[in-house]
A and B are shown apart, each in its own frame.
Chain A
Amino acid sequence: MSAEIKAFPSDDVNSSSRARWMTLLAEAPVADIEHHWQTLPHPSFKWIRRPEFGSAMVRGRASGTGAQFNLGDVTITRCTLQLITGEIGVSYVMGRDKRHAALAALFDAMLQHEKATSEGVVGKCVRAIAEQELRRRQNIARETKTTKVDFTMLTRGDDQ
């Protein structure tokens, strides 16, 4: 079905699947994550892999459905860290923003910790980020819809 709904089904905003929150943290603007980071207690952690730049080759399919081909690279920043409580946070984020990658990995680790202790403050932040992201996508769709076009065909001599 439609992209924005498939990516963020409303009943799945509470989803606690790790792949989903990692996706959300990678796709959200870094400013949104930063905003929530400022409201949370900052845990102690150590780096396993400091943020580093690299790339990934993006693939497509012929006609969208057929054989795969390589389209071109995207830049990526990745890092891995470990909280003092043991959880390991990982992030792979498109672009070259070390702060974004670091915050995404921290949130990943904090969310795992929270899942184990069922506290809920970090989860609340991520739900807020998810809602923000859903609104952003809906706004694109709304703008697009303002340009919906109905071409009409005119046949000459059909004036009656």
Chain B
Amino acid sequence: MITSIKGGEKAIDASHRLLAKRRRGNPAIAELSVDQIREQLTLAVDRVMNEGSLHDPTLAALAIKQAEGDLIEAIYLLRAYRTTIPRFGYTKPLETSEMIVRRRISTTHKDIPGGQFLGPTYDYTHRLLDFSLLEEAEDEDGLPVSTDDTFEEMNLCYGAGFLSRTDVVEAELPSDGIAVADLTREPMKFPSKRDQRLQNLTRGDEGFLMALCYSTMRGYGRNHPYVAEMRHGDVSVVMEIPELQFEVGIGTVRVTECRTIHMTVNKPDTPAHYTRGYGLLFGHCERKALSVAIVDRALRGPEFGEERRHPSQDEEFVLSHSDSVAASGLVQHLKLPHYVDFQGELQLLRQLRDEYEKRAGQADSAENENAG
């Protein structure tokens, strides 16, 4: 039951003042600028843009500053902002095969056509605190990387491309002309379709999706993945301009794309083959791209005749609980006053106790009579 409550304005204003004071921290230390957050905390910015479902590094950085680094709060702020601006249209699908690649790896083949490039990654770091950063020494990684001056084209077709030409790997073919579901316009419906699932997972909470992905790997719905290709880089965003009726590039986005393949043997009428999972996200976020791809594949079970037995395979469970804004809203509402609910429940509890005691009293006296 919802009941309204009044008052508290003065206390709330004072609370906001304390919040601003805490956000500023020690005034003797220089204030953090939004530009600094955008340029130097890029992975936090990327997470906020993904789950906030809005690509705008400056606004994501502002949200992080305003939320004192609470990324789930920042995600909420960015989502809320998106609803205040008009939508001018939908873009053409990103041509990720034409990405300006900053990183690209494959775990299925040592020599993939075009080569593998580690790019910037924490994968091969020692994961020891680097005290030189504490001393505010110039970060070596911040300096320009020395390169040679000759330029040679990179030719990076998709990994597993040659596999795709056989029937070993599932082909994903375009199905244009069908309306694309949009969760910002119409709510999720079950049974869900792939477009709804991929949009939901893209916006979903990284921790929740990673835990589900982890559960599939530990045996709760086994679908062992190989990363056919993980790439990160810049892609042009192309949109048909309504008043001109031709397609124009409006800017570039940095994205992470993960393509997984999973051995699938379940259906008796199909030979064993590899099926696919997919994750495409704004910014650089490989942990989440992997999680999205593997959960995407887990939710495709019915297509391949797989039994639905574990949480990661249950679309209602996964898709209804993936959103951090919805989850945080319901969980945090528990901190708001519930005085009337509680009084109501307390009355019920007292009534139940009275009845219990009455029953107990009757049982006691019945026992006494029997004994007597």
Contact = CB atoms under 8 A, between A and B. Distances in A.
Contact of A7 (B98, B145, B151): B98
A66 B173 contact: yes
Interface string A68-106: 111111111010100000000010111110000000000
Nearest to A144: B117
A132 B55 CA distance: 25
B108 interface: no
B158 A90 contact: no
Interface in B158-213: 158, 171-176, 178, 180-184, 194-196, 198-199, 202-203
Contacts of A146: 145-147
A55 B241 contact: no
Nearest to A17: B246
A63 interface: yes
Interface of A is mostly: mixed
Contact of A142 (B110, B147, B243, B249): B147
B325 interface: no
B151 A138 contact: yes
Interface stretch (B89-97, B215-223, B310-318): B89-97
Nearest to A137: B100
Interface stretch (A36-44, A114-122, A123-131, A148-156): A148-156
A75 B194 contact: no
B238 to A, nearest CB: 8
Contacts of A4: 100, 153
By CB atoms of chain A within 10 A, which of B55, B82, B105, B247 has the most?
Answer: B55
Interface of B is mostly: mixed
A140 interface: yes
Please tell me the size bucket of the interface on B.
35 or more
A93 B172 contact: no
B100 A141 contact: yes
B282 A62 contact: no
A100 B156 CA distance: 32
A23 interface: yes
Given A80-B243, A93-B250, A142-B148, A2 B87 contact: no
Nearest to B116: A149
A67 B178 contact: yes
Nearest to B170: A63
Interface string B232-247: 0110111101011011
Given A23-B250, A66-B173, A144-B104, 11 more contacts: A3-B98, A4-B153, A5-B153, A22-B241, A26-B248, A64-B278, A69-B198, A75-B56, A137-B100, A141-B100, A149-B105
- The 3 A-B pairs with the shortest beta carbon distances in the complex, nearest first, are A94-B251, A66-B172, A23-B249
Interface of B: 49-50, 53-56, 58-59, 82, 85-94, 96-105, 110, 115-119, 145-148, 151-156, 158, 171-176, 178, 180-184, 194-196, 198-199, 202-203, 233-234, 236-239, 241, 243-244, 246-253, 257, 259, 276, 278, 280-282
21 contacts: A3-B154, A24-B249, A27-B251, A56-B91, A59-B180, A62-B278, A64-B96, A65-B173, A67-B174, A68-B176, A69-B181, A70-B195, A90-B243, A139-B147, A141-B154, A144-B233, A145-B152, A149-B105, A150-B116, A152-B110, A153-B110
